[in-house]
Amino acid sequence: MNTVLRLTICTLFFWVTNANCQSKMVSIKGGTYIPLYGRDSSQVTISDFQMDVYPVTNQEYLDFVNKYPKWKRSEVKKLFADGNYLIDWKSDIELSDKQSLNAPITNISWFAANDYCECQGKRLPTIDEWEYVAMANKTMPDARKLKTYNEFILGWYEKPKTFNNAIGSTFKNYWNVYDLHGLVWEWTSDFNSVLISGESRKDVDNDSNLFCGSAAIGATDLMNYAAFMRYAIRGSLKAKYTMKNLGFRCVSDKKILE
């Protein structure tokens, strides 16, 4: 009840005030694909939806915190965010000197990210939605078998401290979405639905039929590695966890007027 009320208020608030703080969204045309790794290895169908072009920035989150004081660092419920929540901020409403307003917000929990999106009248993407958009490179909707695509992702895993780079500093993909790879990890609504035991060698056995859609062995190996790491990070998370390399973006089923 409370949530519904809050959502209504949020939504109302949003409709009433001007929406200039609303980040830009683009349309994603739905389709069917086989995720690399999932609850089962069957095909997944994605409906049309809208996705934020960029991850949510420090500036946007600062505005959010100002509007909803319960998400201030000093006031946040420990149940909803761990001890590292916004840990680098100078105060409740100030970034540190090292953080740029234009960089993606990180050190936020799933609860915070989820609430942020709800308050914008949006929601967090599902793993399947996120992976669907993220398998595109600049020109192709599904570039997973390309060596260059996988090398770019693996390369990022090795680059330290990318969390303070500005949004839009990586490539624009086929769907006109930026920064899915190369900036920060991103929360998804059902991040914990794929069970990774932590003993990843054991996990390997369970999905031997996952990669049957692939043709080139070499490409698949790289593809597996790139995806494994993403699923591994998701598997290591709990909803109250916050991480310096973990941000988020929102999606919406309907077009939101700007």
Contacts to another protein by CB under 8 A: 82, 84, 87, 151, 154-155, 157-161, 185, 196-204, 218, 221-222, 224-225, 228-229, 231-233, 235-237, 241-245
To another protein, the closest distance from the beta carbon of 193 in angstroms equals 17
Instruction: Rank residues 64 and 185 by Cβ distance to another protein and give the closer one.
Output: 185
To another protein, the closest distance from the beta carbon of 121 in angstroms equals 30
To another protein, the closest distance from the beta carbon of 150 in angstroms equals 8
> For every residue of the chain, which 3-state class applies, written as one string?
CHHHHHHHHHHHHHHHCCCCCCCCEEEECCEEECCCCCCCCCCEEECCEEEECCCCEHHHHHHHHHHCHHHCCCCCCCCCCCCCCCCCCCECCECCCCCCCCCECCCCCHHHHHHHHHHCCCECCCHHHHHHHHCCCCCCCCCCCCHHHHHHHHHHHHCCCHHHCCCCCCCECCCCCECCCCCCEECCCCHHHCCCCCCHHHHHHHHHHHHCCCCCHHHHHHHHHHHHHHHHHHHCCCCCCCCCCEECCCEECCCCCC
To another protein, the closest distance from the beta carbon of 243 in angstroms equals 5
Among the listed residues 252, 254, 256, 255, the one whose alpha carbon sits nearest the alpha carbon of residue 125: 252
To another protein, the closest distance from the beta carbon of 202 in angstroms equals 7
Instruction: Rank residues 19 and 219 by Cβ distance to another protein and give the closer one.
Output: 219
For residues 43 and 23, the answer to whether their CB atoms sit within 8 Å is no
Instruction: Rank residues 134 and 222 by Cβ distance to another protein and give the closer one.
Output: 222
Encoding tokens for residue 223? 């593809």
Instruction: Rank residues 47 and 96 by Cβ distance to another protein and give the closer one.
Output: 96
Instruction: Rank residues 230 and 249 by Cβ distance to another protein and give the closer one.
Output: 230
Instruction: Rank residues 85 and 130 by Cβ distance to another protein and give the closer one.
Output: 85
To another protein, the closest distance from the beta carbon of 187 in angstroms equals 12
